[in-house]
């Protein structure tokens, strides 16, 4: 079974490529994301792109969350080997708090920016500036 199929079966993350060079990663409502989920996502992106780097548009639906361990991993060089830049679409105050922590404490190794629920177009324009 392909990695993307396995990822879809978890019910947590949906991966698509709406535009060349941009991976849209949609995290389902109320999901708790773990390091294993992120690693499976990385494998699915690598499989889909043939190992070519891309920009990530991460859309965290309401109440989707994660742990410090995942944030630390996401900010690492290992987790970003195929990442050009990350744009996050956030839907809740707890997500914005985690985002602030991610930028100020973890200090991601790739350009990272956060947007509100209605700013997807702005996020895509920002990501395109890296392609």
* Domain layout of the chain by residue ranges: 3-119
What is the secondary structure of 57-119 as a DSSP string? EEEE-TT-EE-HHHHHHHTSTGGGTTEEEEEEE--SHHHHHHHHHIIIII--SS-EEEE-TT-
Q: How confident is the model at residue 107 (pLDDT cuts 50, 70, 90)?
A: very high
> Which pTM does this prediction carry?
0.92
Residue 63 backbone class (left: φ over 0; alpha: ψ -120 to 50; beta: rest): left
pLDDT category, 1, cuts 50, 70, 90?
low
Percent of the chain scoring above 70 in pLDDT: 99
CATH number attached to the domain at 3-119: 3.30.750
- Helix, coil or strand: residue 130: coil
Handedness of CA 125, 29, 32, 35 (dihedral sign): negative
Quote the CA–CA distance of 45 and 56 in Å, as a whole number.
10
């Amino acid at each position: 079974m392909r990695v993307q199929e396995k990822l879809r079966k978890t019910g947590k993350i949906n991966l698509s490529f709406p535009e060349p060079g941009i991976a849209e990663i949609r995290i389902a409502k109320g999901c708790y994301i773990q390091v294993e989920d992120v690693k499976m996502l990385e494998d699915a992106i690598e499989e889909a792109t043939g190992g070519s780097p891309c920009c990530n548009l991460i859309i965290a639906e309401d109440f989707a969350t994660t742990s410090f361990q995942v944030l630390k991993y996401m900010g690492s060089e290992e987790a970003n080997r195929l990442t050009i830049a990350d744009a996050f679409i956030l839907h809740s105050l707890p997500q914005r708090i985690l985002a602030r922590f991610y930028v100020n404490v973890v200090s991601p190794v790739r350009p990272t920016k956060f947007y509100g629920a209605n700013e997807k177009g702005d996020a895509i324009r920002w990501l395109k500036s890296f392609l």
